[in-house]
């Protein structure tokens, strides 16, 4: 008996190359490459983020983290490879893929002239959430992110940490199951950084949201985290932090990072 | 369990959700407009200066013969009113595209572009929002002009609305197309010199084309090929309850071309990806 011809529906489920995405992955990235002219920013990048896990994407400035985020969120077109969010291929089902995902970009993306609530309502509208429902959800996420007392404040009047928390609240408004945060603590003081990291880790443990946390700061990563080390557009290591360190027989993450990237690190808690 | 979560099917967007999205984008554009009061004032002052000062001086030197849609001799102020209405929309279209460049530089544009709604729909909503804002300005201008004895037939105020929607779309889509090709806010000043002024002056906004033809046949043809000329004529005829079919066809065609161009230019594979990440990002 002959096998039926593969259909478009099959292609959607399995991606262009025919192989199925890793079962149950919140985010599956396979063989993604990207060039700016002749400069290769990403070279055959592949890794997965499991639902309800905290995955740190560690890399120096220029490693390709933001480029990868731009591809995942469809700000950039895919040049090579494929990406699926909860089995929705971003090339074939961009709407479905984007609905499963909340994003906090490295640069601020809030409208400074609008109030906290107005920013949230605008985001909700872009996801087709009715005004009434959006108000209920806004109150919830603001309360969760410790901004319940600032709904009417102009965003311009918020501190850097509060703006970041608002961006996370906004990213959670449509109920995503995957949260991407690109250097979300850049420019914040130690206290604000700790607060934001605590909030995000709480989302993983309490709500089962999968998180991809791009950073260049070692102290934001703990040994139980999943880790992807990205350097000059290539993945150097992937797995649990403790496993990576043990496998390389290194002293700690700091040492293994220096060893893999062949750079000397002056600071104990931050890549240069 | 993970597989079950991963394979969960999402329903598509309903008509009501598309409307919610449209409503949200128009609401945000309206809020911005309200917050920028000086924008509203300057949008009104510009055509009023032309109407009160420029036209007052020119009415003595520039006679207007009886040309359609007018059925009698008219004052120069009456003639240029449709051109000034279109001018409001032209400047508003460019202002909207300027704000899109600003949004892109500030990062706000990402909020729009990572919405799960289709990108063409989002840009269409953005365009409609800009058009609504421009129409509010045009009617405010018409209200003031009425006190200056610019009194088109009452039906004209209603009949001109569809023409304003269409011309607002055309000029907004043109601005959107231009903004997709501009890398930095500073470069936008060139748009004033290379787009707005040539489009405005090489049109029938300030003088009838037969006058232009007398002076320079070549400029006459340039004016004929200028979509802004047809936007002005569409508004002029509609304001007097009439239809200029050629202008309608040209304006509708230009809207489609500019809109398709803008959507393609904002396509990630053809637009942003060429530019690389924003400054400071990696």
**Chain A interface test: which of B26, B103, B273, B278 (most A C-beta within 10 Å):** B273
Instruction: Output Rg (C-alpha) for chain B, integer angstroms.
Output: 21
Least confident of A198-207, A230-239, A248-257, B119-128: A248-257
Residue B187 pLDDT class (50, 70, 90 cuts): low
pTM (2 d.p.): 0.81
Q: What CATH number does residue A47 fall under?
A: 3.40.50.300
Q: Output DSSP code: residue A270.
A: B
Give the largest CA-CA distance in chain A: 69
d(CA B20, CA A44): 40
The mean pLDDT of chain B is: 82
CB contact under 8 A, A74 and B5: no
Chain B nearest C-alpha distance from A255 (Å): 23
Q: Output DSSP code: residue B153.
A: -
d(CA B199, CA B181): 19
Q: Output DSSP code: residue A242.
A: H
Residue B280 pLDDT class (50, 70, 90 cuts): very low
State the count of interchain CB pairs (< 8 A) between A and B: 149
- Which residue from A32, A28, A95 is spatially nearest to B2, judged by alpha carbons? A28
d(CA A167, CA A179): 11
Region B22-33 average pLDDT: 90
Q: Do A235 and A133 share a domain, yes or no? A: no
| Chain B residue whose CA is closest to A34 | B273
User: What secondary structure does DSSP assign to A105-121, as a single string?
Assistant: -SS--S-TTSBHHHHHH
Q: Which of A25, A98, A124 sits opposite B6 (nearest CB)?
A: A25
For residue A9, being part of any structural domain is answered with no
Q: Based on the structure, what is the number of domains in chain A?
A: 2
Q: Do A202 and A89 share a domain, yes or no? A: yes
Q: Which range of residues forms the domain containing residue A168?
A: 110-175
CB contact under 8 A, B16 and A94: no
Segment holding A82, helix H or strand E: strand A80-85
Q: Do A140 and A219 share a domain, yes or no? A: no
The mean pLDDT of chain A is: 84
Residues A170/A194, Cβ–Cβ less than 8 Å: no
pLDDT digits (tens, 9 = 90+) for B229-243: 999 999 999 999 888
CB contact under 8 A, B20 and A62: no
pLDDT at B1 over 50: no
Sign, CA torsion B170/B173/B177/B178: positive
Q: Which of B1, B112, B282 sits opposite A65 (nearest CB)?
A: B282
d(CA A230, CA A237): 8
Percent of chain A with pLDDT over 90: 43
pLDDT value of position A267:
46
Q: Do A222 and A200 share a domain, yes or no? A: yes
Does B32 touch chain A if contact means CB atoms closer than 8 Å? yes
Residue B184 pLDDT class (50, 70, 90 cuts): low
pLDDT digits (tens, 9 = 90+) for B29-84: 888 888 877 777 887 888 888 888 887 777 766 666 667 777 777 778 888 899 99
CB contact under 8 A, B2 and A126: no
Q: Do A150 and A186 share a domain, yes or no? A: no
Region A151-180 average pLDDT: 90
Q: Which of B13, B24, B107 sits opposite A125 (nearest CB)?
A: B24
State yes or no: cis peptide before B69, omega within 30 of 0: yes
Query: For A147-152, which contacts have Cβ atoms below 8 Å and span 24 or more sequence positions?
Result: A147/A116, A150/A116, A151/A115, A151/A116, A151/A117, A152/A115, A152/A116, A152/A117
For residue A146, being part of any structural domain is answered with yes
Q: Do A185 and A254 share a domain, yes or no? A: yes
For residue A10, being part of any structural domain is answered with no
pLDDT value of position A14:
43
Q: Do A34 and A78 share a domain, yes or no? A: yes
| Chain A residue whose CA is closest to B24 | A125
Q: Do A89 and A195 share a domain, yes or no? A: yes
Number of Cβ atoms within 10 Å of the Cβ of A250: 16
CB contact under 8 A, B20 and A113: no
Does B102 touch chain A if contact means CB atoms closer than 8 Å? no
Least confident of A177-186, B40-49, B247-256, B259-268: B259-268
d(CA B94, CA A243): 56
> B157-167 burial string, b = 16+ CB within 10 Å, else e?
eebbeebbbbb
pLDDT value of position B188:
66
pLDDT digits (tens, 9 = 90+) for A111-161: 888 899 999 999 999 999 999 999 999 999 998 888 888 888 899 999 888
Q: Do A197 and A89 share a domain, yes or no? A: yes
Of A202 and A250, which is predicted with more confidence? A202
pLDDT at A3 over 50: no
Q: Do A129 and A30 share a domain, yes or no? A: no
What are the angstrom distances between the C-alpha of B132 and each of A16, A41, B162?
42, 42, 11
Last residue of a domain, one of A175, A200, A218: A175
User: What secondary structure does DSSP assign to A50-107, as a single string?
Assistant: -TT-EEEEE--TTSSHHHHHHHHTTSS---EEEEEETTEETTT-HHHHHHTEEEE-SS
pLDDT at B138 over 90: yes
pLDDT value of position A2:
39
**Chain A interface test: which of B24, B36, B119 (most A C-beta within 10 Å):** B24
d(CA A33, CA A58): 18
Q: Do A194 and A260 share a domain, yes or no? A: yes
Query: For A136-143, which contacts have Cβ atoms below 8 Å and span 24 or more sequence positions?
Result: A137/A173, A137/A175, A138/A169, A138/A173, A141/A169, A141/A170, A141/A172, A141/A173, A142/A116, A142/A117, A142/A169
pLDDT value of position B50:
84
Q: Which of A62, A103, A111 sits opposite B108 (nearest CB)?
A: A111
Residues B177/B271, Cβ–Cβ less than 8 Å: no
For residue A4, being part of any structural domain is answered with no
pLDDT value of position A8:
35
Does B16 touch chain A if contact means CB atoms closer than 8 Å? yes
Region B124-153 average pLDDT: 90
What ipTM does the predicted assembly reach? 0.79
Residue A268 pLDDT class (50, 70, 90 cuts): very low
For residue A2, being part of any structural domain is answered with no
d(CA A133, CA A121): 10
Q: Do A149 and A189 share a domain, yes or no? A: no
pLDDT value of position B267:
57
Does B65 touch chain A if contact means CB atoms closer than 8 Å? no
pLDDT value of position B161:
96
d(CA A220, CA B169): 48
């Amino acid at each position: 008996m002959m096998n039926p011809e593969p259909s478009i529906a099959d292609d959607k489920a399995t991606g262009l190359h025919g192989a199925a995405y890793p079962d149950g992955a919140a985010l599956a990235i396979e063989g993604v490459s990207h060039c700016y002219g002749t400069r290769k920013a990403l070279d055959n990048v592949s890794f997965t983020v499991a639902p309800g896990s905290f995955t740190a994407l560690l890399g120096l400035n220029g490693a390709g983290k933001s480029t990868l985020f731009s591809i995942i969120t469809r700000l950039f077109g895919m040049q090579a490879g494929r990406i699926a969010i909860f089995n929705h291929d971003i090339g074939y089902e961009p709407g479905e893929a984007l609905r499963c995902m909340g994003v906090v970009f490295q640069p601020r993306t809030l409208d400074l002239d609008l109030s906290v609530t107005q920013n949230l309502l605008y985001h909700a509208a872009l996801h087709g959430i009715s005004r009434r429902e959006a108000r209920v959800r806004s109150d919830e996420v603001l309360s969760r992110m410790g901004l319940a007392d600032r709904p009417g404040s102009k965003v311009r009047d918020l501190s850097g940490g509060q703006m970041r928390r608002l961006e996370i609240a906004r990213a959670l408004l449509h109920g995503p199951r995957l949260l991407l945060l690109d250097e979300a603590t850049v420019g914040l003081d130690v206290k604000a950084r700790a607060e934001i990291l605590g909030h995000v880790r709480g989302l993983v443990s309490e709500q089962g949201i999968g998180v991809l946390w791009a950073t260049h700061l070692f102290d934001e990563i703990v040994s139980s985290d999943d880790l992807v080390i990205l350097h000059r557009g290539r993945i150097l290591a992937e797995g649990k932090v403790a496993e990576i360190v043990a496998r390389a027989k290194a002293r700690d993450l700091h040492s293994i990072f220096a060893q893999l990237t062949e750079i000397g690190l002056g600071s104990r808690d931050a890549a240069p | 369990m993970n597989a079950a979560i991963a394979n969960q099917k999402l329903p598509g967007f309903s008509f009501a959700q598309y409307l919610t999205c449209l409503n949200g984008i128009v609401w945000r554009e309206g809020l911005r407009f309200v917050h920028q009061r000086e924008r509203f004032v300057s949008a009104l002052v510009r055509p009023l200066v032309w109407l009160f000062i420029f036209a007052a001086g020119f009415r003595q030197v520039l006679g207007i013969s009886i040309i359609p849609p007018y059925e009698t001799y008219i004052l120069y102020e009456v003639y240029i009113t449709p051109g000034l209405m279109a001018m409001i929309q032209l400047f508003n279209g460019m202002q909207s595209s300027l704000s899109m460049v600003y949004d892109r530089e500030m990062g706000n544009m990402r909020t729009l572009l990572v919405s799960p709604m289709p990108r063409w729909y989002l840009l269409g909503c953005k365009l409609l929002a800009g058009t609504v804002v421009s129409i509010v300005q045009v009617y405010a201008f018409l209200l003031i002009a009425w006190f200056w004895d610019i009194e088109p037939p009452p039906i004209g105020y209603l009949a001109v609305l569809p023409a304003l929607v269409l011309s607002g779309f055309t000029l907004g889509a043109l601005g959107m197309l231009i903004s997709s090709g501009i890398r930095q806010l500073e470069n936008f000043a060139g748009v004033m010199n290379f787009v707005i002024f040539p489009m405005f002056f090489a049109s029938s906004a300030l003088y009838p084309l037969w006058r232009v033809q007398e002076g320079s046949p070549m400029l006459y043809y340039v004016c004929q090929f200028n979509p802004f000329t047809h936007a002005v004529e569409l508004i002029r005829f509609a304001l007097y309850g009439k239809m200029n079919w050629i202008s309608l066809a040209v304006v509708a065609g230009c809207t489609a071309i500019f809109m398709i161009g803008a959507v393609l230019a904002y396509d990630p594979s053809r637009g942003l990806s060429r530019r690389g990440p924003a400054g400071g990002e990696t």
